[in-house]
């Protein structure tokens, strides 16, 4: 009888999970009739989320059907809304089909994460984001429409909420982007608001000065130690009492794992991620794996854990796919490990910042780091071409995003 691996999601983790499961199936000379690999997601595209702060975000999607068909992976269009780990079924929604179900022998939950908007007055109604294509397209349209409004300080001001990685990348992109729209000489003001006492709280003391220098070069005002307490159509109010009039407020503070993790009866962290073992299986729940932003795993033996990042999602995906397939073919699993960790932060016109290690040793700055960032964003995080041999070779777990 056919054994079934079902992968929920079509992002970085899910795509690499599908490819690596297909790779192991191929190596074991098992046919797709005996081991079926199916991806289920709302759309057969990979959204390149790390590029959604760039102009034309509608272009940041990669079609997946040809790639999947090259390696005999099935695709089902649908949004999963229930998981029964006893019956080993998932229920999903898709147009014109009444509560269809799929069964699995192994489930890989790779449905990612999304921006968390806290219950602060006005945040839902009045903030933009670069979290998904539709939000990023709304922001892009809004920025392009500002030129039709009468010039004013409010029109020319953008507030970015959250001084972490995404907030910094968004904020440093905005001065150039807005000046292109409004005209080179317009007085553009970008304000980055961070609740912690410093910008980039996770970046460390060696890397942070490079970020602060770039913010200064771009004329971005950083407000630290204050949070946004309300947002309205005309701007934001901060916890320190300051009022900032702004036509554009971009929320970039905080991510949460997919709600689907709550449907699995297992331990989760404060971001909603399922805690997984070394094989990326969910302890205590038979035949369920979780990966990418939906999971938290130890990345080494030194006490480091995966972050919500592409570099972790891709490699975790490859190990989860491999190990789910291995468990159905009597092959030893490969414990997940990812000893190198790098960060490449875009800083807009001044360039970028490339660090290595959890202590974030600075390895490149300015134009040199920008070249690395462009390579990461246009090559490394993209899936392989739709060629069976290329795609199967690409998905060897221990070579995926190995720096």
Site residues for ligand FAD per CB under 6 A: 8-14, 40-42, 49-50, 52-53, 79-80, 110-113, 130-131, 166, 258, 260, 292-293, 308-311, 313
Is residue 100 within 8 Å of residue 243, measured between CB atoms? no
Nearest one of 270, 275, 308, 311 to 290, comparing CA atoms: 275
CB of residue 218 vs ligand FAD: minimum separation in angstroms?
Answer: 18
First CA to last CA across the chain, in angstroms?
A: 40
Question: In the complex with ligand FAD, which residue's Cβ is closer, 178 or 238?
Answer: 178
Q: Where are the beta strands (DSSP E) in 183-325?
A: 189-194, 221-224, 228-232, 235-238, 243-245, 248-251, 255-257, 274-275, 288-290, 295-296
- 310-328 and 12-27 helices, crossing angle to 10°: 30
Question: In the complex with ligand FAD, which residue's Cβ is closer, 333 or 383?
Answer: 383
Is residue 51 within 8 Å of residue 377, measured between CB atoms? yes
Question: In the complex with ligand FAD, which residue's Cβ is closer, 21 or 310?
Answer: 310
Question: In the complex with ligand FAD, which residue's Cβ is closer, 133 or 238?
Answer: 133
CB of residue 11 vs ligand FAD: minimum separation in angstroms?
Answer: 2
SS3 319: helix
Q: What's the rounded Cα separation, in Å, for the pair 352 and 185?
A: 25
CB of residue 234 vs ligand FAD: minimum separation in angstroms?
Answer: 25
Q: Provide the CA 10 distance to its chain's centre, in angstroms.
A: 12
CB of residue 26 vs ligand FAD: minimum separation in angstroms?
Answer: 23
Question: In the complex with ligand FAD, which residue's Cβ is closer, 154 or 256?
Answer: 256
CB of residue 1 vs ligand FAD: minimum separation in angstroms?
Answer: 25
Beta-strand relationship, 157-161 and 243-245: unpaired
Beta-strand relationship, 295-296 and 274-275: parallel
Backbone φ, ψ for residue 291 (5° rounding): -155, 170
Residues 6+ apart with CB under 8 A from 379: none
Q: What's the rounded Cα separation, in Å, for the pair 137 and 13?
A: 24
DSSP 8-state code for residue 298: B
Question: In the complex with ligand FAD, which residue's Cβ is closer, 12 or 155?
Answer: 12
CB of residue 136 vs ligand FAD: minimum separation in angstroms?
Answer: 8
Question: In the complex with ligand FAD, which residue's Cβ is closer, 126 or 314?
Answer: 314
Beta-strand relationship, 248-251 and 157-161: parallel
Beta-strand relationship, 89-93 and 101-103: antiparallel
Q: How many residues does the chain have?
A: 403
CB of residue 92 vs ligand FAD: minimum separation in angstroms?
Answer: 7
Number of other CB atoms surrounding residue 399 within 10 Å: 11
Question: In the complex with ligand FAD, which residue's Cβ is closer, 131 or 155?
Answer: 131
CB of residue 305 vs ligand FAD: minimum separation in angstroms?
Answer: 14
CB of residue 291 vs ligand FAD: minimum separation in angstroms?
Answer: 7
Q: Provide the CA 68 distance to its chain's centre, in angstroms.
A: 21
Question: In the complex with ligand FAD, which residue's Cβ is closer, 22 or 40?
Answer: 40
CB of residue 68 vs ligand FAD: minimum separation in angstroms?
Answer: 13
Number of other CB atoms surrounding residue 263 within 10 Å: 15
Question: In the complex with ligand FAD, which residue's Cβ is closer, 92 or 328?
Answer: 92
């Amino acid at each position: 009888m056919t054994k079934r691996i079902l992968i929920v999601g079509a992002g970085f983790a899910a795509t690499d999970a599908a490819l690596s499961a297909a790779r192991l199936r191929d190596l074991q000379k098992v046919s797709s009739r005996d081991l079926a690999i199916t991806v289920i997601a709302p759309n057969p595209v990979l959204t390149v989320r790390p590029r959604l702060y760039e102009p034309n975000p509608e272009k940041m999607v990669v079609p997946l059907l040809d790639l999947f068909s090259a390696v005999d992976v099935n695709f089902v269009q649908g949004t999963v809304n229930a998981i029964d780990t006893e019956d080993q079924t998932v229920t999903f929604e898709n147009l014109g089909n009444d509560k269809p179900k799929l069964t699995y022998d192994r489930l890989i939950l790779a449905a990612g994460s999304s921006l968390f908007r806290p219950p602060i007055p006005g945040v839902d109604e009045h903030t933009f984001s670069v979290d998904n294509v539709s939000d990023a397209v709304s922001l892009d349209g809004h920025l392009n429409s500002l030129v039709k409004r009468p010039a004013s300080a409010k029109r020319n001001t953008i507030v970015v909420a959250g001084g972490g990685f995404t907030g910094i990348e968004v904020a440093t992109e905005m001065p150039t982007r807005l000046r292109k729209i409004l005209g080179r000489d317009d007085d553009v003001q970008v304000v980055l608001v961070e609740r912690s006492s410093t910008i980039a709280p996770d970046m460390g003391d060696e890397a942070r000065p490079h970020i602060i220098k770039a913010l200064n070069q771009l004329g971005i005002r950083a407000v630290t130690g204050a949070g946004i307490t309300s947002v309205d159509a005309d701007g934001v109010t901060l916890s320190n009492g300051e009022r900032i009039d702004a036509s554009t407020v971009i929320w970039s503070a905080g991510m949460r794992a997919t709600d689907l993790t709550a449907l699995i009866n297992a331990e989760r962290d404060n971001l909603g991620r399922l805690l997984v073992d070394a094989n990326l299986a969910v302890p205590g729940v038979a035949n369920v794996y979780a990966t990418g932003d939906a999971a938290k795993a130890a990345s080494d033996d030194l006490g480091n854990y995966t972050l919500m990042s592409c570099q972790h999602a891709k490699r975790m995906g490859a190990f989860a796919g491999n190990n789910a397939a291995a468990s159905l073919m009597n092959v030893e699993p490969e414990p997940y490990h990812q000893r190198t960790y790098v960060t490449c932060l875009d800083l807009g016109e001044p360039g970028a910042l490339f660090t290595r290690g959890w202590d974030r040793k600075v390895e490149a700055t300015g134009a040199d780091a920008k070249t690395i960032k462009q390579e990461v964003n246009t090559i490394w995080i993209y899936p392989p071409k739709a060629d069976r041999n290329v795609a199967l070779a690409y998905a060897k777990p221990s070579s995926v995003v190995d720096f």
